[in-house]
Structure 1
Amino acid sequence: MKSLHRGRLAIAVQLSLLTVCAPAIAQEAEAGSRATTLDRVQVTGTRIKRAEVEGQVPIQTLTRDDIERTGFNSISEVLQQLTASGSALNAKFNSSGNFGFPPDGSGVGAGSAQVDLRHLGAKRVLVLVDGIRWVNESSASGVGAATDLNTIPLAIVERIEVLEDGASSLYGSDAIAGVVNIITRRDFDGAQVTVNYGQYGKGDGTQKGVDLAWGTTTERTSLFLGASWVKQDPVYARTREQSRYPIPGTGLAFGSSATPTGRFIFIDPVTGAEQDLTPNSGARTPVYDGSAGCNRRDDYHCFGRADRFNFAQYNLLLTPSERKGVFGQFRYFFNNDTQWYVKALGNRRESTNQAAPEPLFFGPEAGTGNPLADDIFISARNPYNPFGFDLDSADNLIMIGRRPVEGGARVFEQRVDTQYFNTGLVGSFERASRSWFWDVNGMYARNKAEQTNYGSYNIYNVALALGDPAACAAVSGCVPLNIFGGPGTITPDMLRWIQPVVHDRSQNKLGLFTANLSSDMFTLPAGKVSFATGFEYRKYEGWYQPDPLTVIGHYNGVPSLPTSGSYDVNEVYLELSVPIFAHSALGEALDLSLAGRYSDYSTFGGEFTPKYGLRWQVSEDFVLRTSYAEGFRAPTIGELYGSAARADLQLSDPCSIGLGGTPPRGSAANCAALGVPGGYQQANSQISVTTGGNTALDPERARSLSAGFVWSPWFASNSEWADRFDVEVTFYRHAIRGAIQAIDAQTQLDLCVDTLDPLYCGGITRATTGGINGFNNRLTNLGSIKTDGWDVNLFWTFPESAAGRFKLAWQNTFVGRYEATGAAGQRQPQRPGVEVVDSAIPEWTSNAMLDWSRGPWTASWTLRHTSRLSEDCGDAVAFPVCRNPVDGRNTLAAISYHDLQLGYRFDWLKGLQLSAGLNNVFDKDPPICLSCSLNGYDASTYDIPGGRYWYVRADLKF
């Protein structure tokens, strides 16, 4: 028998090498959760109830113990630790203000938290709760395309199943990169109180929370009630050395040219010389003397690096939030075969983002896209104008930058309310010697948000207050504005005229109905042919309503217009499981899985997506599996109907002298052809880019392949050195055609200068001075995204001894390829091992966890590793912080974080569990990121600087 076993194993290994082409690992549930059972269960990735746990696709299961071991208080923080997780929003993103409207046209979910799988984006991950879709986010900055995991309290979670494979044939749109299925707590008798408290080593960023759970079960009923409260305090950028300046190691070089004292660039009408001036510190009544150049009197000097404004000190490293949620689930069993259930949830998230005091930019090189600012006229009769002549955008004004610190920081407060209701019937019956399983479900959910913005300005009122005093006097409340006198010279009366409170609102709604049926069809020599089939109807509705001030174009911040839309979809699917052979010379079993789904959308018509899978049980301890799936993602409401909005992005103009003094990167001839004069230097590194929806968008289409094996060797089962030893390998490949996104703005700008092609230059306009004053970067169906790699995992349970029981779980993801190309073949900058656009695709991420238990004691040690990255130094190439100035690249060194947790259980009532933990034990700072927009590091890849975090938790059951 051993000889036969080894023969089968040899054949299987050879075939697996041909199939996989390289060692790879499927991220799966830990070994202890895969015990063989004869009961039929349904897992994520199939609608057919089956006995086998290892199916055709890799599933990773996070149990409640796994979740509590992390010390986190949100689902997103747990999921973002997965090795297959990519860059996604979290509490470390201070995401309002300049990030309010990203190039996907859907709006940033300020204060939200998401999950990304395979670096394909959060909007390509489908989030389910108990197998039912969850409503998309709403954070009052657009109609979101992804799920905000902060709308689901962690306290209600029993486990999380993560499918890292395409699944459109089973679940429909959005499941290109994978599926996250959150399973709620159901069977619960008694009560539980969980209290947790933690903070960072510097005494800030305090997190605290209370979870309550109560349940009861009778012969006919089951009831679970849960409540959760979580509060997160902020961490300010100024409290950490790495985040105190815009780019660490460069001082004020990359600070803003909008300063509290003001920067004034204009052509002297007397001498014809260009002036670039700022008042001397302490100047109270500056007097302009009319001389050429920067040879000023005591009142002014030539604007230089030391005059730039350090906006970083106002930023947040960790955004504050408070979440309150209640959840209830009731089940009534009519008999052993039929039950009715009802679920309801209410959740409120209140969060805050903060940015530096809002700058006022005027003139043709302001590039705000708002004619009230770009075409400003400042009258010589303004009582505070010291120059004695008009400053006119159509004549002599180039740019003015003034930051009214008198008005305080920009503060964006979000309130997001989530309502969820789900009811249905679940049952089974016996007919024709077969078991039939069925369910019908109805769900309605809504996310409604309001964002209140303090610290912004009414640019219409600003322009009126800077113009002719007579025109200002004719309007009630208007007082002339002083932008020339330095900090403290904008009075409360002036602020009352120019500073409003801005309210934006948005909503996303989802209603659906599903019906499913599963059973065996007939019996083949190798076993029963099983099927699952069903119908699903969904209706999406969403709207975004900015403040009326924004709609009429008077808002000085990020402009936008209302968005509203809806669509619905009808779907049917069929899934088959066909046994090919069983108990033969070729192995224990070979099963074929087939699935297909037809979707009929009101926006673009029909779409069919198939899936094929093979599962070969070579022996009792070795399984080969592979799957191929076609998928799609329908354009969302924001992507279809989103109105023009603006994102202020950090872009480097190739025609400009770098802020660090480096020569222009672009061709001098091409720059001249674009109207850029020699010696031009970009006045403002933030360029406003217009984004928005496109009703002509087609669905994204994808192809996904996974192939690998699961090996639990017989010689490692109940042996002297292992109770169980599992190795899992999966190769994955995703290819997306017609990906919905805008071309990377920096790439478009570089290609425009390099080629002068209207395809890239058509949306970019420049002022007569050479500066960019318009940038249109709309959504389209890009060429393709292709990525592949390997998951390699090992699970090892040691025999119990006098020292206790040890378990080791080691999970790895290796990204082999990531290529994104535009519709015309232009290569996007994202690729493995590269940091770009505030996100990274590490070539290797790894998590290793060693768990120990002995009697009432438990402990765990977790190692989180991210391989090194490389980025473009940009204008920072002239500074020592750029590690490889010769080739203009900066290396972000590999980093490993260590987390420790210790627990003890008391036999009091039904159990009291006390735990204490320390994350980032060795207080590792993230590598410095020169291309990242805020705080000098990538917030989606690394822990915050100075980020040692300790916590305690008490969990009482009674």
Structure 2
Amino acid sequence: MSRVLTGLRCGAGVLALVIGSAAAAQSAPPPADQPETQAAASEPASMGEIVVTGSRIRRNPLDQDSPVITLDQSDLAETGLSAVADILQRLPSASGGLNSKVNNSGNIGNPPDGGGVGAGSAEIDLRYLGAKRTLVLVDGLRFVNGTSASGIPATVDLNTIPANMIERIEVLQAGASPLYGSDAIAGVVNVITVSHQKGLRASAQYGKYIGEGDGQTQDYQLSWGNGTDNSTEIVVGAAYVKQKPVRTADRDISQFPNPGQKSCTDPIGGCSSAAANGRFDLRPYFVATPTLNGNFTIGSGPDSTPTFAELRQFTAADRFNFAPFNYIITPNERWGAWLSVKQDLGSDINLRVSGIYNHRKSQNQAAFEPLFIGPDAGNGAGSLFDTLSFDATNPYNPFGYTLESGRNPDGTPNGRAQNYSFVGRRLIEAGQRTFNQKVNTYSLTATLDGKLNMFEHDWYWDVNGLVGVNEAHQSFTGNVRADRVALAIGPLATCLATAGCVPLNLFGGAGSITPDMLDWIGFTEHDRSKQKLAGFTANITGDVVELPAGPVGVAFGYEHRFQSANFHPDEIVAAGLGADIPAQPASGHYNVDEIYGEIRVPILKDQPFAKSLEANGAVRHSNYSISGSSTTFTVTGLWKPVSDVLLRGSYSTGFRAPSLGELFGGRSRFDLPATDPCSNLPGSPWATSATVRANCIANGVPASGSYQEEPGQLPVITQGNENLKPEKSKNLTLGIVYSPEWARSGGSNFNVEFNYYDIKVTDAIGAVDPNVTLNDCALLGDADSCALVIRTSNGFVNEIDGTLDNLDSIRTKGIDATLNYRSPATSVGRFGLTANVNHLFKYVLTASNGFVVLNRKGTERGSPDQAFPEWKANATVDWSLGDVMALVTGRYIDSVTEQAAIGPNTLNSRFYTDIQVNYTPSQLDKRFTFTAGVNNLFDKDPPGCYTCSGNNYDPTTYDAPGRYGYLRVSYQM
């Protein structure tokens, strides 16, 4: 807290927007009926030069030197969506990220990025480079990262920012580390908040999936401001959003673990071996005793006195279909309040203080706990469950002898021979696994800004202080603890001698576990996490000298920032005693000091073939307390051969310091949907290749071919690494903007823009793709890959090492195109067209040793879900006449291909259609607007995906199944 207070004191009242943003936040947004890219926005006569995201020097937005897309309040309202992230993720340059369609807490574990799941949160990912490489600012300042009590994420949770606090969002589609520091490799999202408002604004919206009647969403917004005619400007607001779930049981695509699957007996498999009646695998320990050499289940349950005579061979029909017990859209409830106070202190000095409070309640849900016990259980991470034995005296043991693991609790050999593989049982009696998050976010910024005259020019300065806290608590019901299970299946005498111990019946089938048994072994898991941010920035910008082509502009600044985070899993889980995803505590902090400078040099003006020509540059030096120092730079050239055409090009270097989660993340597990090439199944690499068999045997698979496990989930052990180095990047951007003067007469407008980007990231932080690890070991016999795969004596994968490292380089190239047209007013109304297109030329991931090259363009990665379509586009056509306005939006996603167990699978292209109608009656002084809309009008289902982590489609790319309709009423005084 002392660091936080220091940050506030140093701020002298702390400033709100880094100079660029401060000015931008106070500038009039584009007209509500003219959504357009900032680079080609028409400049109001009274605006003068302003600062727009992408530069800290004030300039005419027509000459913006970076590709920036602006979304104002009307653009957000046109989507009918209640989450800012869902809106941003529709941009063609965006590429997914967490959102309300991602249902994951402990059911598939923590992705191998050190950040935890972030359940219930939402983020933005530009250029397919991961959300951690997109910097999110609020009023030009850093915002505290989110957390959901499952790890230490490196990203801002956009759900923590109330939607009615947003005046506009500026999306810089280019790397900007020299201007903004770490994380701005792919681009910058700058959320500009409301600082000026006169009177009351309110809206209420209700929506749901038409036909199904689920996914009901309520959205209420209220704000008030005292206007700009006062020396003290006050704007205050509140927001409430409640989203109800959509369940997998209610959509055809998610009825079974694979698209189109009708039964667990389908050859594709995928259903869980943790069956409702149990799976008891004794192979291959009783080859000489055929009656005992089997993979058993009980014939019928519940049975409180199971016997060996009641057991039969386990078949695919006994597997458990977990798919109908999940969410397609997770329930989410948010409420928050915000305040902006701006005080005119005279002499061109202003003080602005702004604060945000947001509370989120969210929930994720999964099928009943799959309890696996035994040497081949695959819990990994040193789980006690992998060492347990079933004692012969346990009254429910149907085998009449001890099922012996051969291990001590610490995993070392106990001198007794192992005689069973594993016991799996779905704990139906304990109810579904339910993860409930409660997250509070607090943010306070203060900005002191002013103007002074130096070198016969106006100079603008600002100092800013900020503090932010995000804290989360998660409760998880349905888990059980290993130490008590050990007593309950161990020697009967020991259990009876322990107060409260009740022997556990895992062999009697569904319904055989009594409430008393559950009371002994069950517990409610409580996890918590917190992230803190405190900082101080100072900036100054102005002109230093006049050249024939105009003034030379410069900007300088300093930033100090302190970040800390911690994650505390439940003490039982931290001790390795939980049945679900293992996790270890993690905590860390760092501070950084940065200085930057920027210059703009006009070279020519109003010359033949040079309406204007200028060169710009920026440099930033950052010094991190953990990961060392880094210096980045950018150079930019702008040329207007004629007044209607702007050509620009820039080259920049960038970096991203390792996040706290990547540095200090504790051991956890990610359950990867995968096919093990060493499993002896018909048509598998083991069955068809002698080379594969030899490589697999060398990796620990029995030569007999007894390892025959269907495709399912394999355990990947994730872990941070304190030795990580910063990532580095190079970014080339070329652009052309055509904005003809003739099209801006009579209230009309037309502009078109093309931007080419080429980004290369080196020393990219990540874990080796587990599928690549398995295949390189089995198919190529690569020793380094095989060392990452730890198998049991029966060949089962116990864990795949997913420790983070500076492994890869990423190279991506593409082009963005935007078009905006606004017709003049006619007798039949006014028309508009806005279109955004992204074409992906290249996306290649290369291992640091050059050994593995993955071409992602046109593919679906699957788990963690990510599509890389070659084309993405959206376009909106609007029409207005009198009191009525109508819009039609089309959204296109090109087809992609995934490599599934069945072979290549094409996820066909999708074209979504959204419509909206607004009525603003003159009879009510145009203060009320009534809106009706439908998203996904033609009810297009997402394409089926076999490798995606849940619900058989990629929720980061495609709409949830169903047609969503909504009604809204808005009021503005």
TM-score normalized by structure 2? 0.91
Q: Distance in 1 between matches of 2:428 and 2:682?
A: 24
Q: Do the aligned residues in 1 keep the contact of 2:471 with 2:531 (CA within 8 Å)?
A: yes
Give the C-alpha shift of residue 287 in structure 1.
6.1
CA distance in structure 2 between the partners assigned to 1:376 and 1:952 by the alignment = 57
> Which of 820, 843, 848 is residue 845 of structure 2 equivalent to?
820
Q: Structure 1 residues 371, 187: CA separation in 2 closer, same or farther (over 3 Å shift)?
A: closer
Q: Distance in 2 between matches of 1:638 and 1:712?
A: 45
Q: 1:183 aligns with which of 192, 195, 200?
A: 192
Q: Does 2:323 correspond to 1:312? A: yes
Equivalences for 1:83-102 in 2 at 5 Å?
83-102=92-111
| Cα separation, 1, equivalents of 2:453 and 2:614 | 24
Match of 2:739 among 692, 696, 712: 712
Matches within 5 A, 1:397-416: 397-416=420-439
Residues 1:708 and 1:743: Cα distance change in structure 2 (over 3 Å): same
Q: What is the aligned partner in structure 1 of residue 963 from structure 2?
A: 948
Q: CA deviation at 1:869?
A: 0.7
Q: Which residue of 1 aligns with 2:48?
A: 39
Are the aligned partners of 1:59 and 1:163 in contact in 2 as well (CA < 8 Å)? Answer: yes
Distance 2:424 2:849 in 1: 38
8 Å contact kept, 2:38–2:61: no
437 and 665 in structure 1: CA distance in 2 versus 1, 3 angstrom threshold = farther
CA contact (8 A) 1:58 1:165 kept: yes
The residue number in structure 2 matching 1:774 is 799
CA distance in 1 between partners of 2:524 and 2:42 (Å):
53
2:4 aligned partner: none
Alignment of 1:144-155 (within 5 A): 144-155=153-164
Residue type matched to 2:810 in 1? I
Q: Is the 8 A contact 2:43 2:60 kept in 1?
A: no
- Once residues 476 and 209 of structure 2 are traced to their aligned partners in structure 1, the CA distance between those partners, rounded to angstroms, is 28
Partner of 1:120: 129
2-structure distance, mates of 1:287, 1:412: 33
In 2: Cα distance, 1:828 partner to 1:312 partner:
33
**For residues 916-939 of structure 1, what are the alpha-carbon distances to aligned partners after superposition, in whole Å with 9 as ceiling and x for unaligned?**
100000000111111112111111
Q: How does 1:393-432 map to 2 (within 5 A)?
A: 393-394=405-406, 395-432=418-455
The reply to whether residue 935 of structure 1 matches residue 951 of structure 2 is yes
Q: Which residue of the partner structure matches residue 278 of structure 1? A: 297
Q: Which stretch shifts more, 223-232 or 36-45?
A: 36-45
AA aligned opposite 1:752: C
Describe how 1:911-926 pairs up with structure 2 within 5 A: 911-926=927-942
CA positional deviation for 1:679: 5.0
Distance in 2, Cα, partners of 1:665 & 1:415:
51
CA distance in 2, matches of 1:277, 1:399: 11
Measure how far apart 1:711 and its partner are.
0.6
Cα distance in 1 between the residues matched to 2:270 and 2:151: 30
Q: How far apart are 1:52 and its partner, in Å?
A: 3.7
Aligned pair 1:204/2:214, yes or no? yes
Question: SS of the counterpart of 1:500?
Answer: strand
**Residue pairs, 1:634-653, within 5 angstroms:** 634-653=657-676
Instruction: Note closer, same or farther for the CA distance 1:601–1:175 as it changes in structure 2 (3 Å cut).
Output: same
Matched, 1:628 2:651: yes
Q: CA deviation at 1:834?
A: 0.3
* SS of alignment partner, residue 78 of structure 2: helix
The Cα shift of 1:909 comes to: 5.7
Distance 1:270 1:822 in 2: 44
Q: Give the aligned partner of residue 910 of structure 2.
A: 895
Following superposition, the deviation at residue 38 of structure 1 comes to: 6.0
Which amino acid in the other structure matches residue 938 of structure 1? D
Shift of 1:715: 5.3
Task: Tell me the CA shift for residue 573 of structure 1.
Answer: 0.4
Question: Is the partner of 1:306 in helix, strand or coil?
Answer: helix
Post-superposition offset of 1:98: 3.5
Pair 1:840-2:859 in alignment: no
Counterpart in the other structure of 2:140? 131
Deviations 1:197-226 (A, max 9, x none): 000111000000211100003431110001
SS at match of 2:76: helix
Aligned length: 910
Deviation digits for residues 117-166 of structure 1 (CA, Å, limit 9, x no counterpart): 00000001111111111111111111111111011111100100000100
Q: 1:46 to 1:482 in 2, by over 3 A?
A: same
Counterparts of 1:271-670 in structure 2, within 5 Å, are 271-273=288-290, 274-282=293-301, 284=303, 299-335=310-346, 337-369=348-380, 370-394=382-406, 395-658=418-681, 664=687, 667-670=692-695
Matched-pair contact (CA < 8 Å) for 1:405–1:487:
yes
Q: Closer, same or farther in 2 for the Cα pair 1:557/1:27, shift >3 Å?
A: farther
1:774 Cα deviation after fit? 2.4
Give the Cα–Cα distance (whole angstroms) in 2 for the partners of residues 119 and 940 of structure 1: 11
Contact 1:700 1:736 in 2 (8 A): yes
| Percent of residue pairs bearing the same amino acid type | 43
Q: 1:37 to 1:214 in 2, by over 3 A?
A: closer
TM-aligned CA deviation for residue 35 of structure 1: 5.4
CA separation in 1, counterparts of 2:687 and 2:49? Answer: 66
For the Cα contact (< 8 Å) 1:466–1:480, is it kept in 2? Answer: yes
Q: Is 2:301–2:510's contact at 8 Å kept on the other side of the alignment?
A: no
| Residues 286 and 756 of structure 1, relative CA distance in 2, 3 Å threshold | farther
> How far apart, CA to CA, are the structure 2 residues paired with 1:659 and 1:228?
57
- Distance change >3 Å, CA 658–CA 833, structure 1 → 2: farther
CA shift for structure 1 position 32: 5.7
**Farther off after superposition, 651-660 or 167-176:** 651-660
2:815 corresponds to: 790
Task: Decide whether aligned partners of structure 1 residues 688 and 403 sit closer, same or farther in structure 2, where only a CA change above 3 A counts.
Answer: same
- Over residues 681-736 of structure 1, what are the superposed CA-to-partner deviations in whole Å (9 max), with x where a residue is unaligned? 126722211111111100000011110100123554549xx933211111001100
Greater Cα shift, 890-899 or 741-750: 741-750
**Structure 1 residues 191, 511: closer, same or farther in 2, change over 3 A?**
same
Tell me if structure 1 keeps the 8 A contact 2:302–2:512. Answer: no
What is the CA distance between 1:500 and its match in structure 2?
Answer: 0.2
Specify the SS of the correspondent of 1:98.
coil
Aligned to 1:759: 784
Cα distance in 2 between the residues matched to 1:651 and 1:448? 34
- Name the CA shift for 1:152/1:33 in 2 (closer, same or farther; >3 Å): farther
Residues 63-113 of structure 1, C-alpha deviation per residue, up to 9 Å, x if partnerless? 111100000111101100000011200000002013442111121211100
Query: Matched residues in 2 for 1:272 and 1:34: separation?
Result: 87
The one-letter amino acid of 2:601's match is V
Deviations 1:896-922 (A, max 9, x none): 000000010024366001101000000
Asked if the contact 2:886–2:915 (Cα under 8 Å) also holds between the matched residues in 1, the reply is: yes
- Tell me whether 1:257 sits opposite 2:273 in the alignment: yes
Aligned residues of 1:279 and 1:286 also touching (Cα < 8 A)? no
Structure 1 residues 787, 363: closer, same or farther in 2, change over 3 A? same
Partner of 2:112: 103
The 3 A distance-change label for structure 1 pair 935 and 360 is same
Partner of 2:415: none
Alignment partner for residue 850 of structure 1, among 856, 877, 881?
Answer: 877
The alpha-carbon distance between structure 1 residues 549 and 285, as it changes in their structure 2 partners (threshold 3 A), is: closer
In the alignment, residue 204 of structure 1 is paired with which amino acid?
D
CA contact (8 A) 2:763 2:806 kept: yes
Give the distance between the partners of 1:156 and 1:539, measured in 2 at CA. 26
Distance in 1, matches of 2:241 and 2:682, equals 43
Superposed CA RMSD in Å reads: 1.9
Deviates more, 1:631-640 or 1:365-374: 365-374
Runs of 5+ unmatched residues, structure 2: 1-34, 407-417
Q: Secondary structure at the match of 1:899?
A: strand
> Does 1:702 pair with 2:755?
no
Q: TM-score, normalised by structure 1?
A: 0.93
Work out whether residues 352 and 448 of structure 2, in 8 Å CA contact, stay in contact via their aligned partners in 1: yes
**3-state SS of paired residue (2:803):** coil
Code of the aligned partner of 1:552: A
1:195 counterpart letter in structure 2: A
